[in-house]
Amino acid sequence: MLDSSLLQLMWLASPALPIGGFSYSECLEAAVESARIATEKEASDWLLDQLEISLARSDLALVAQAIAAWQAADTPRIQTLNTWVLQTRESSELRAQTEQMGRSLLEWLRNHTTATPAQISLLANMQATYPMAFALAAACTQAPLRDCLLTYAFGWAENMVQAAIKSVPLGQSAGQRILSALAAQIPAAVEHALTLQDDQRQAFSPMLAILSAQHEVQYSRLFRS
């Protein structure tokens, strides 16, 4: 990989990227509130399950397909994939999350120098979701597809570990152990995502949907999801 591509991927994975990922727990906070998560092991097991059951089968697979679509300038395919993301967010707050992060990453791309004006315009005109905006940013790095997915997954993992540290709560050392466990499983999740076709991609996590609906009316919250 070129040094420039590696640096761009590191930038996309950084928690300092101004897209607001730190403000979401993706139902982890609701799982803590309902006593499903109270310890380091329970938080680790929850996130490992989410990586395997949810992320690998949906967002990672979609990002892989979206990167190819952006590189091929396949506008109908790009729009179809973006619509799939919107239709498979099972609560209003999860949909709001992907839309807000998509808009924020779009604004980042506007101030960057990698995406073309035509690509920016297409993204802006289709109610951009975060996976599709990330796919465009990743496609512009010219990095290998597998490395792009590793970046997406690690960025997600780092945000989720920080959410666990704040909401369970846990210490920094516990958070690093959880992140280590996730990092060990991310390559396998990426490999699985790369094998999935359209009819195999899925977004079916009923408990996450239930917890998200509960979180929307939770009395006290740290996170927006």
CA distances from 211 to 25, 54, 207 (A): 11, 14, 6
Residue 93 belongs to some domain of the structure: yes
Residue 34 belongs to some domain of the structure: no
Residue 179 belongs to some domain of the structure: yes
pLDDT of residue 3: 87
* Span 12-55, pLDDT tens digits: 998 889 999 999 999 999 999 999 999 999 999 999 999 999 99
In this prediction, residues 66-80 reach a mean pLDDT of 97
Name 12's Cβ contacts closer than 8 Å, sequence gap at least 6: 134, 137, 138, 141, 151, 152, 155
pLDDT of residue 16: 84
The three-class DSSP label of residue 78 is helix
SS3 of 19-61: CCHHHCCCCHHHHHHCCCCCCHHHHHHHHHHHHHHHHCCCHHH
Residue 20 belongs to some domain of the structure: no
Residue 74 belongs to some domain of the structure: yes
Residue 105 belongs to some domain of the structure: yes
| pLDDT classification of 204: cutoffs 50, 70, 90 | confident
Domain of residue 92, residue span: 48-215
- Closest to 33 (Cα-Cα) out of 225, 199, 220: 220
Tell me which DSSP letter residue 50 carries.
I
Q: What percent of the chain has pLDDT over 90?
A: 88
Compute the distance between CA of residue 89 and CA of residue 98 in angstroms, rounded to an integer: 8
Residue 204 belongs to some domain of the structure: yes
Task: Enter the pTM of the model.
Answer: 0.96
Question: In this structure, what CATH number is given to the domain that contains residue 53?
Answer: 1.10.4190.10
* Span 119-140, pLDDT tens digits: 999 999 999 999 999 999 999 9
Other Cβ atoms closer than 10 A to 49: 12
Q: Please say whether the beta carbons of 167 and 223 come within 8 A.
A: yes
Domain count, the chain: 1
Residue 156 belongs to some domain of the structure: yes
User: Residue type for 69, please?
Assistant: A
Compute the distance between CA of residue 18 and CA of residue 101 in angstroms, rounded to an integer: 9
